[in-house]
Amino acid sequence: MENINIMINGLPGNVAKKMAEFGIADKRFNVIPFSLTGQEIEEKIVTIDTLAFELVRPDSRDQKTAHIKSLFPFFICIDYTHPSAVNSNALYYVQNKIPFVMGTTGGDRKLLEEIVKVAATPAVIAPNMAKQIVGFQAMMEYAADTFPGLFKGYTLQVVESHQKGKADTSGTARAMVGYFNKLGVNFDMDNIEMIRDPEIQEKEWGIKREHLSGHGWHTYTLKAEDGSALFEFKHNINGRDIYVSGTFDAVLFLKKKLDHPDKSRKLYTMIDVLNGK
């Protein structure tokens, strides 16, 4: 199997850096030396391992695209940029017929899906690329569809903790709230508690210092109205390695879809990746 050219966007961000580190070492991929970045980023070059990445800001990316495509006629983009760039980046990929895996959360997700559905090339989009968490979400979705109203009358508390630099509410937490609401609770997304203070995370939550810069801890607590029953669901992830594995699986899945196109469908999720369909 030939190496798949991948362009990792979001450098010098931490997740993009981790993706690049693993991608460079992974013989299945050829990491190309360019990365879309934010307009505010002053750096022009970021070196990871032995590879120097040229950072491409929004004001120059249109003219850079022709150059990148002349060097690499085919590549798949991996997007771990910023929530504010989700929709504009997706539009850029679609307009330039670049298949992509969107791991960035936030943005207008409905608009994001609509952009991809009419695209010429396919994409994988998911609020979480960790396969085990995606599987857990699938179980919750099944429960919500099969037993609607199961937790009617229960109250829900959702608390999520991520590194200080995460700007938006967890996309996974938002998706989970949707399932719990189908199960009968009445919870407003705005009531999700976001913890971003490293001191609180270390002292009150017990998150180890080495993981303060990269973690995702979630707790969902359901309580019966009369206090007679309590259900609690948790998923605590330290570091970013788990997301790398899932993202690379999404790239391999997308390559198969490109090799055997489905004209009726362009938008895929991590559930499709898990199913291999």
Structure tokens at 81: 């940029």
Give bridge partners of residue 160 from the DSSP assignment: 194, 218
Structure tokens at 50: 């032995």
∠ CA 133-135-141, nearest 5°, is 105
Catalytic-role residue among 82, 162, 211, 223? 162
The answer to whether residue 166 is catalytic is yes
* Separation of alpha carbons 227 and 219, rounded Å: 18
Structure tokens at 248: 């690379």
Which element (helix H / strand E) includes 70?
helix 61-71
* Separation of alpha carbons 154 and 222, rounded Å: 6
The answer to whether residue 162 is catalytic is yes
Catalytic-role residue among 166, 211, 215, 257? 166
Q: Could you list the active site residues?
A: 162, 166
